[in-house]
Every structure is written in C-alpha cells, then in structure tokens.
Amino acid sequence: MQFTKATRKQAKLRLALTGPSGSGKTYSALLMASGIGGKIAVVDTERSSASLYSHLAEFDALDLDPPYTPERFIEAVRAAEKAGYSVLILDSITHEWSGIGGCLELVDDIARSKYKGNSWSAWNDITPRHRAFLDVLMQSPLHIIATMRSKTETAQVEENGRKRVAKLGMKSEQRDGTEYEFTVVLDLVHDGHYATASKDRTGLFSGDPKPITTATGKTIIDWLNSGEQLRPEPPKEESDPGKITPTAGVMDRVAPDRVDMITQYVDRLKDACTREDGIAAAELTAEITDADEKVAVWKHLEPSERSFIKTAIAAAIAERESAEAQA
C-alpha cells in the first residue's frame, strides 16, 4: 500500500434534478445538457414530455414504457453508451423506484408469490437489482443527468398537547440515500427554473438559488475538465479465470494447500451471485474466517458480484435485527 498526493481528477457528470411536477426538471436538464455539448440522449418515462422541448436542443429520445424494472433502465443506459452519446438524461428515475413494475411493486409481488408476504425477504431479491442500476449510472462513461420527482414530506407532531401534521420539506421519490450517489443534487422551485443545491461537491451552486441555463452546463463541463487527466490503467496480465493461483501481493500469504479450496469457494460464491440468491451469498461469506483468504476471495470477484454480496449481507443483518426487535 502506498499513499499519494490527492488531486482532483477529470470526471463525468453525475447530477440529479429534483422537484415537484411542473417545476421544470426536463426543461432544465435539456438546457444543461446543451451547455455541456456533444450528442444528447433522453430516456423518457414521462409520456414523451421531452419531445415538447425539442426546440431547446438537438437530442434523440427513447420512450421507456412500463414495466420500469431496474434491468430496463440498465438496458437503456447500455444502449446509449453503445450508440456513442456524450450526455444521457434519465427522465425520470423515480419510475425505477415507485413506477409500474418498479422496485416497490416488485417487492410486493415477490413477497406475495415467494415469501408468504414477508417483504423483508423480498428485499433480498430486489436490493441487488436496484444496486446494480445505480452502479451502472455511477460507472457509465457518459455524463449523466437524472431527474427525480419530489413531494412534500410530512410528520405528525405534538404541539401544546395537540397533534398536528407538520410539513418537513420536499423529499425525492427514490430510495433513501440515492442522492448520495451524485456529485450534485439540485432542487428546483417553480419560480423561473431556479435551483438550490442540497448537495454540491463542485462548489458552483453555493449561496442563493441560481437559474438553470445553457451557461450552467458550460460552467459544469469546464469544472469537470479542469481536473487532472486520468491515466489509463496498465494492461492486466492474462490468467486462467477458472483457477486461482497464489501470485503477487496477498495471494502469496495463502497456504498452498488451501488454494484449491478457495477456488471451489469462489465458484460457489459466484454461482450464488449468478442465481441472485442473497441468502446463500450471505451464508457463504461466513465460511471463510482467515483475513488473507477473505482478501484473496474478494480479489477474484467482479465489482457487480462484490456489490451483490455487500447488499446481501446488509439485508441479512437488517432482517436479523428486525426479528430480534419483534421477539
């Protein structure tokens, strides 16, 4: 391990626009995309609403109809990447969560059909699929602008001995914590397409609400390109994917007589990921206790498999804690 001086690298945009219906999310997204430049693609779940703004910018649209499963969104992102677009607008990713065939509906369906109404177990099936969708957004070589609907969040509070419903503010209609995945999250208000930043790693949106224009996109792309250019990764050595060999680094610390066992263990773990069996994956992770062997196993898993396993473990812990709380 070696520490190096921290420098900001050139990056691709990961921006979320949130706001209630009619706040101008689609309009603002197209203005920013136009300012960023390059070929623009729009994945439209809002009944072709993006096409109403074809005068703002030149773009291609894909009308995405139900069911709004995570896999259909992933397929749309991959199609945009393959077609060579520069900027992708997802309008909106709320449908992946709460739309027809989205995650919430999938959980209800799976809970009824597979787990006798147990939604905790159903989340073991759905969370990895939702996580895979977010991973695709974060790892895409395109600039990503995602819109999310928001609604007023309320809570029951007690005041002077009486209970009343209090407004807590606006809340985006996506899974809690989704906003943490983005570099910038802008909350739109109805008045003149102005936005305030609820999250901003760029420092470009601090202070008073700012109007969204094509100049906003130009400012963002200048900031993204001002970082240090990324160095290409060195080519990886060819190896037999079906065989684990104790090579450099931590693999040298694995006992030779344990290598075959680890190979079989990795195969079982990969199989659980392929079958999307979160329970089996979580149980398998408990079989290896040696720290070096754990690192060796982790080294031979794909990023998507690692993400699935992390989610499976988190779901297992949550289910256990829930069961203990109810006991």
Structural domain boundaries in the chain: 14-225, 249-326
Most confident range, picked from 44-48, 61-65, 282-286, 314-318 = 61-65
- Give residue 248's pLDDT: 39
User: Is the pTM higher than 0.75?
Assistant: no
User: What are residue 154's phi and psi, to 5 degrees?
Assistant: -125, 165
Burial class (CB in 10 A: 0-12, 13-18, 19+), 70: buried
Q: What's the CATH code, domain 14-225?
A: 3.40.50.300
pLDDT averaged over the chain? 83
- In 3D, which of 202, 144, 157 has the Cα closest to residue 13? 144
Across 120-130, average pLDDT: 91
CA distance 159 to 236: 64
What value, to the nearest 5°, has the Cα angle with vertex 236 and ends 232 and 241? Answer: 145
Q: What is the pLDDT of residues 235-270, one digit of tens each?
A: 544 434 334 343 334 445 567 667 777 777 788 888
195 or 234, which is more confident?
195
The closest alpha carbon to 239, from 299, 294, 291, 305, belongs to: 299
| Cα Dmax for the chain | 71
pLDDT of the residue at 321: 63
Looking at per-residue pLDDT, the higher value among 322 and 279 belongs to: 279
Specify the higher pLDDT residue, 75 or 286: 75
What is the spatial distance between Cα 25 and Cα 19, in angstroms, rounded to a whole number? Answer: 7
C-alpha to C-alpha distance for 141 and 14, rounded to whole angstroms: 11
Strands, E assignment, the chain: 14-19, 40-44, 60-63, 87-91, 143-159, 162-172, 184-188, 194-200, 210-211
The full length of the chain comes to 327
Q: Above 70 in pLDDT, residue 231?
A: no
The pLDDT assigned to 158 comes to 72
